[in-house]
Amino acid sequence: MISRHSDLPLKGDATSRYMPWLVALMVFLSAVAVASAFAIQTVMTRWDHDVSGTLTVQVTPVPGDGGEALTEDRVRAAIDVMERTHGVTAVHALDKRQMMALLEPWLGSTDVVEDLPLPRLIDVTLDPDAHVDLAEAGERLSRTVPGASLDDHRIWLSRLIDLSRTIQWLAVGIVVLIGAVTSATVVYATRTGMAVHREVIEVLHLIGAQDDYIARQFADRAFALGFGGGLMGLALAVPVLTAIGWAARRMEGGFLPHLSLPLVGFIAIGLLPAAAALVAMVTARSTVHGTLARLP
Amino acid sequence: MRHRPSGENIIGFESVGLRYGLGSEVLQDVSFVMPAGSFHFLTGASGAGKSSLLRLMFLGLRPTRGRVVLFDKDIAQTRRYELPALRRRIGVVFQDFRLLDHLSILDNVALPLRVRGVKETEIKKHVPELLAWVGLAEHLHAKPPTLSGGQKQRVAIARAVIGRPELLLADEPTGNVDDHIAMRLMYLFEELNKLGTTIVVATHNEQLVTRFSHHPRLHIGHGIVRKVSP
């Protein structure tokens, strides 16, 4: 397609100099947006997987003298209630050391919070095949154990999922916007090229060239420039995305989950140069057709 | 070459008028027919409208009013995508040659064949033959800016006839060459005419017309065309 015969001297045009860089920038930005969308999707899937099939029982500490012993009694009572609940496979109360370990990534040193009246947490694992009536279990728990509540993470997770979906749609919007800007640039560049080569186009037209014969030459050039620019953009995006992934992995304490791309993400990013080239080609072709339609 | 029987009309104009923008008409009520296989001069002073009339003939313009019939097709009724096929049946020698300076002579002459999708092997065979016939065998790969006016003229003619057109329109083909070359070109046109090509030569060179006075002419004056028989 790229090496087909061309009667128009398009290689020397100013377009040939700036178009590849512009497409490179567009592909770079698209790659970042696409990578973000897929990375967020991966994180959400992992969070969903991690918390599905688990519940957390929270027991409020009892203040005052002897409060610690009372709290321990309530924890044991809560464990007892949950163990007798249908579909529960394991119940495990977190000790103080585990609680501190959970808080450390957020608060740093745990010395200052050691004396605070932190609620006690109990991890509950459910049988994935069993149907558990969570409303009934929660009601029974709070009736039997004062100050105990059941958290199935759904509210927290649904908000995160909403947020991730918003970010994903935003990424799609950015890619569409980038495509539109690329198209607009190709339209401008093609019209400029047609104005520069007006006399050659007129000769071709008058000796009987079909519009598509002329349009194809602009489209081939746009494809070549778009693909070359797209590869440059990809070459810029790969090290940048690798660096972001590496930096995220280096963050301590799991504040950020491990960022990684699924295979389809790699494929989508790898196809961006071809997509940019196709957008450029189709846009150039339709622009030439539209302009030539005004000739007799 | 699908030359039609001599005597059938290849061009017909009926009450054709042409104006550019909101200006006055440069051509008024032009009516004539040209039989296939004929040879016509188109004469008139500079600016009389010869080039405009030729542009109407090679479909570079649409008339403001009236009816143009070319190869039995009413141009006003012809769809736009059908026009390239009609243009390929017409060879045009432009007054300013309109050669593409970035292409070699060979590629310039090959253009009409390339737009038709003729195979490169055919092009490489026929184009050098024709260029040799017009005396440019040594310049196949030269670019037009390196050629003299006469050589450019011959390249323009070679490009016009390479597709073996049924109708050849030449706009002031002798305007940039000396008398000797002008005569050679006219003899070339006559040879093509004998082979069946309909020829229209626009010129303001009265001497030339007088010398070839056996051909009829259309004279344009003040936008009005009248036929002058030999």
> How confident is the model over B126-184, as pLDDT tens digits?
999 999 988 888 989 999 999 988 889 889 999 999 999 999 999 988 876 778 878 88
CB A149 within 8 A of CB A138: yes
Quick check: helix, strand or coil at residue B11? strand
Q: Which residues contact A17 (CB under 8 A, 6 or more apart)?
A: none
Chain A residue numbers touching B88 (CB-CB < 8 A):
207-208
If you average pLDDT over residues B114-125, what whole number do you get? Answer: 93
Q: Phi then psi for A252, rounded to 5 degrees?
A: -75, 155
If one counts every other C-beta atom within 10 angstroms of the C-beta of residue A130, the result is: 12
Per-residue confidence (pLDDT) for residue A165, from 0 to 100:
85
Does residue B92 belong to any structural domain of this protein? no
Token pair in block for residue B172: 């002031």
A207, A212, A292, A295, best to mutate vs chain B, most B CBs in 10 Å: A207
pLDDT value at B214 more than 90 = no
**A296 → closest Cβ in B61, B98, B103:** B61
Q: How far apart are the CA of A7 and the nearest CA of chain B, in angstroms?
A: 8
Token pair in block for residue A133: 């009536």
Chain B residue numbers touching A203 (CB-CB < 8 A):
98, 100, 111
Per-residue confidence (pLDDT) for residue B3, from 0 to 100:
60
If you average pLDDT over residues B102-125, what whole number do you get? Answer: 94
**For chain A, give me the number of helices (H) and strands (E)?**
9, 4
> How confident is the model over A192-221, as pLDDT tens digits?
999 999 999 999 999 999 999 999 999 999
pLDDT value at A256 more than 60 = no
Per-residue confidence (pLDDT) for residue A283, from 0 to 100:
97
Q: Judging by beta carbons within 10 Å of its beta carbon (0-12, 13-18, 19+), is residue B121 exposed, middle or buried? A: exposed
Per-residue confidence (pLDDT) for residue A179, from 0 to 100:
93
List of long-range contacts for A207-210, beta carbons under 8 Å, 24+ apart: A207/B87, A207/B88, A207/B92, A207/B111, A207/B112, A207/B115, A207/B159, A207/B163, A208/B84, A208/B85, A208/B86, A208/B87, A208/B88, A208/B112, A208/B115, A208/B116, A208/B163, A209/B84, A209/B115, A210/B81, A210/B84, A210/B115
Residue B109: closest CA among B148, B84, B141: B141
**What is the rounded distance in angstroms from the CA atom of residue A262 to the CA atom of residue B159?**
58
Does residue B132 belong to any structural domain of this protein? yes
State whether A207 and B102 contact (CB < 8 Å). no
CB A287 within 8 A of CB A186: yes
Does residue B131 belong to any structural domain of this protein? yes
Per-residue confidence (pLDDT) for residue A110, from 0 to 100:
65
Quick check: helix, strand or coil at residue B121? helix
**Mean of the per-residue pLDDT values for chain A?**
86
Residue B199 pLDDT level (bands cut at 50, 70, 90): very high
If you average pLDDT over residues A72-86, what whole number do you get? Answer: 89
DSSP string, A221-243: HHHHHHHHHHHHHHHHHHHHHHH
Token pair in block for residue A44: 């959400």
Token pair in block for residue B173: 């083909």
Q: Which residues of B81-109 are buried (b: 16+ CB within 10 A; e: fewer)?
A: eebbebbbbbbbbbbebbbbebbebbbbb
| Degrees to nearest 5, angle at CA A46 with A237 and A258 | 45
If you average pLDDT over residues A218-240, what whole number do you get? Answer: 95
Residue B225 pLDDT level (bands cut at 50, 70, 90): confident
**Dihedral angle sign, alpha carbons of residues B21, B27, B29, B30:** negative
Chain B residue numbers touching A197 (CB-CB < 8 A):
none
**A203 → closest Cβ in B80, B98, B163:** B98
Q: How far apart are the CA of B229 and the nearest CA of chain A, in angstroms?
A: 30
If you average pLDDT over residues B99-125, what whole number do you get? Answer: 94
**Mean of the per-residue pLDDT values for chain B?**
89
> How confident is the model over A16-53, as pLDDT tens digits?
888 999 999 999 999 999 998 888 888 777 777 766 77
Calculate what percentage of chain A has a pLDDT beyond 70.
92
If one counts every other C-beta atom within 10 angstroms of the C-beta of residue A147, the result is: 16
DSSP string, A105-125: HHHS--TTTTTS-PPEEEEEE
If you average pLDDT over residues A1-11, what whole number do you get? Answer: 74
* Identity at B84, one-letter amino acid code: P
CB B166 within 8 A of CB B7: no
Q: How far apart are the CA of B6 and the nearest CA of chain A, in angstroms?
A: 24
Which chain A residue lies closest to B63 (C-alpha atoms)?
Answer: A296
CB B205 within 8 A of CB B174: yes
Q: Which residues contact B174 (CB under 8 A, 6 or more apart)?
A: B181, B182, B185, B186, B203, B205, B208
Q: How far apart are the CA of B217 and the nearest CA of chain A, in angstroms?
A: 25
Containing structural domain, residue B147 = 102-163
pLDDT value at B89 more than 90 = yes
For chain A, say whether B115 makes contact (Cβ under 8 Å).
yes
CB A19 within 8 A of CB A212: no
State whether B62 and A5 contact (CB < 8 Å). no
Task: End-to-end CA distance of chain A: give it in Å, rounded.
Answer: 29
Task: Say which residue, B71 or A138, is predicted with more confidence.
Answer: B71
State whether B98 and A209 contact (CB < 8 Å). no
B89, B100, B113, B164, best to mutate vs chain A, most A CBs in 10 Å: B100
* Identity at A291, one-letter amino acid code: T
> How confident is the model over B33-82, as pLDDT tens digits?
999 999 999 998 887 888 899 999 999 999 999 999 999 999 999 999 99
Residue A222: closest CA among A19, A12, A6: A19
Domains contained in chain B, number: 1
Q: What is the pTM of this model?
A: 0.78
Residue A185 pLDDT level (bands cut at 50, 70, 90): very high
Does residue B139 belong to any structural domain of this protein? yes
If you average pLDDT over residues A94-107, what whole number do you get? Answer: 79
